[in-house]
Amino acid sequence: MQRHAVKRSLLLAASFCVASLLAVCGWAIFLAAPREITMGDVQRIVYLHVAVAWGGLAGCVTMGVAAAAYLVRRNPVWDRWSQTAGELGWLCTTLTLATGSLWAHEAWNTWWTWEPRLTASLVLWLVFAGYFLVRTSLDDPERRARLSAVLAILALADVPLVIMATRWFRGIHPVTPEMDPRMRLVLLTSVVTFSALLVLLAVLRKEQLELAARVESRERAAGIIN
């Protein structure tokens, strides 16, 4: 009971810290960062875009690593970490595509182009979606964890493709553009803030999955579900 209370206090403190960081980040993006000369205020999308793109890739890597750990250890906790990372990775990749599309409309005058990094990111989004399709197709928790873990490991193959797409295939996506030092600082703040937010969300979601699994096992034991 005492342990539960400590955990709850820690989560509340972490939530407060992340909320403060988000407020600072919002101020930095909209007020502190200088206005870009060519694109104007639209360029501020980049601060969110880069942060969520990083979250998407980190989510995919974490999903694959946790999946490998599950296959080796057979501890369901690793499966829950893998699912959590996959969900957050998918959310971040969706936001990456949406914010990227908004930026592209202003910068390239099109919502979408078959540029290597855009294509690789869309593939990543589809792989995440496939991972969840497999998860929802299986009722047996052990089989669901095992087969989705294999798919999560296969999904890792797309990560180097997304990262290296602009270098290998000579696309038009910016790689490391020249930036005002203040802009660079705001970008760094944004990445750190979103990383903290994602870690907090991951911990909360994993706790929720733990509870759901506990309820499910009790329902099974009581004969309520098969």
The one segment of 79-87, 92-100, 147-155, 194-202 that binds other proteins by CB under 8 A: 147-155
Whole-angstrom distance, CA of residue 139 vs CA of residue 49: 36
Nearest approach, Cβ of 45 to other proteins (angstroms)?
A: 26
Task: Check if the beta carbon of residue 127 is closer than 8 Å to that of residue 21.
Answer: no
Asked if 77 interacts with other proteins (CB under 8 A), we say no
Whole-angstrom distance, CA of residue 48 vs CA of residue 54: 10
Asked if 71 interacts with other proteins (CB under 8 A), we say yes
Q: Which of 93, 53, 82, 69 is nearest to 174 (CA)?
A: 53
Nearest approach, Cβ of 128 to other proteins (angstroms)?
A: 9
Token pair in block for residue 212: 């759901």
Considering only the C-alpha atoms of the chain, give the largest distance between any 2 of them, rounded to a whole number of Å: 66
Side chain identity at residue 2, one-letter code: Q
Asked if 65 interacts with other proteins (CB under 8 A), we say no
Asked if 185 interacts with other proteins (CB under 8 A), we say no
Q: Which is nearer to other proteins, 18 or 100 (CB)?
A: 100
What residues line the site for other proteins (CB under 8 A)?
Answer: 71, 119, 123, 126-127, 129-130, 133-134, 137-138, 146-147, 149-151, 153-154, 157-158, 161, 168
